[in-house]
Amino acid sequence: MPTITTTDSTSIFYKDWGSGQPVVFCHGWPLNADVWDEQLNLVADNGYRAVAHDRRGHGRSGQTWDGNEMNTYADDLAQLFEALDLRDAVLVGHSTGGGEVARYIGRHGTGRVSKAVLLSAVPPLMLKTDANPEGLPIKAFDDIRAGLRSDRSQYYQDLSAPFYGANRKGSNISQGLRDSFWMWSMQVGFKGAYDCVKAFSETDFTEDLKRFDIPTLIIHGDDDQIVPIVAAGPKSAELVKDATLKVYPGAPHGMAQTIAFKDKFNADLLAFIRS
């Protein structure tokens, strides 16, 4: 398997398909690079170099005890950029991966990045605070941790329903897609999964978003049950200079894999890359 080794000796797995301008994908929690396979194939088929990695603790990457937080995730991504000599890249992040993209730009700038896409992303801040009253209360994230401790396999099976909107009336979400979510999720080490809850929920990306100086596309569904839109996409669009915000009516959190929305997302993604 293709991997790089970070400065703290962690193995990071990655996929590298096609050739041309790189498009780099960062996945959500608790998944891995496989969730992006259709988009990787799409951009590689259209003359781009498609790259996606498994975040540390997830998938085929090393399961470290330490470093399961946004600064280290962003630094791992920077080391992947350097090892593969990625330049002029389009950086795409979904959910927690959107936080990874934001923190990468906040810490490492845009010298190697020409555009960014934030899809159903956690920035600027998921947690409810005095300064962020639209956020989710800490109990929501404590409940996630409790689910992991109690029966994480069943928890992941249950989570797939709101993730893809399978719990909505008239849903056409297949059992196969939900099974894929469970399979990817079960590859995350317990420590990495547990620590990442704090990373995606309590990290404030406000200052990172203010450092964006590249064209940025922000996409969010207004029926996102995982990262509710009220504290996410529109707020990020206000912080990123000249960002383009697209709200998909009825779209769930995992829209990029759903029959109802993936074609629209893929078309918007490809058009933005080409623009």
Task: Give the Cβ contact number of residue 125 at 10 Å.
Answer: 23
Whether 66 is catalytic is no
Second-level CATH architecture of 3-274: 3-Layer(aba) Sandwich (3.40)
Q: Give the residue extent of every domain in the chain.
A: 3-274
**pTM value?**
0.97
Q: Do 4 and 30 meet the contact criterion of CB atoms below 8 Å apart?
A: no
pLDDT tens-place string over residues 52-61:
999 999 999 9
Cα–Cα distance, 160 to 1 (Å, whole number): 28
Q: CB of 232 within 8 A of CB of 226? A: no
Q: What is the DSSP string of 186-248?
A: TTS-HHHHHHHHHHHHH---HHHHHT--S-EEEEEETT-SSS-GGGSHHHHHHHSTT-EEEEE
Q: What pLDDT, on a 0 to 100 scale, did the predictor assign at position 200? A: 98
Pairwise CA distance, residues 242 & 88, whole Å: 19
| Distance in angstroms (rounded) separating the CA atoms of residues 72 and 61 | 14
To the query of whether residue 224 is one of the catalytic residues in this protein, the response is yes
Residues sharing a CB contact under 8 Å with residue 274, sequence separation 6 or more, in sequence order: none
Q: What is the pLDDT of residues 36-86, one digit of tens each?
A: 999 999 999 999 999 999 999 999 999 999 999 999 999 999 999 999 999
DSSP string, 123-142: -S--B--SS-TTSB-HHHHH
Does residue 61 sit in helix, strand or coil? coil
Confidence of residue 15 (pLDDT cuts 50, 70, 90): very high
Nearest Cα to 79, choosing from 118, 107, 114, 49? 107
Catalytic residue among 95, 160, 185, 201: 95
Residue 139 has a pLDDT of 98
Indicate the pairing of strand 113-119 with strand 216-221.
parallel
Q: With b meaning 16 or more CB within 10 Å and e meaning fewer, what string describes 201-223?
A: bbbbbbebbebbebbbbbbbbeb
Q: What pLDDT shows up at residue 8?
A: 97
Q: What is the pLDDT of residue 69?
A: 98
User: Residue 174, Cα to own-chain centre: how many angstroms?
Assistant: 22
Of 58, 220, 224, 236, which residue is the catalytic one? 224
For 130-171, write each residue's pLDDT tens digit.
999 999 999 999 999 999 999 999 999 999 999 999 999 999
Torsion of CA 124, 126, 127, 130, to 10 degrees: 40
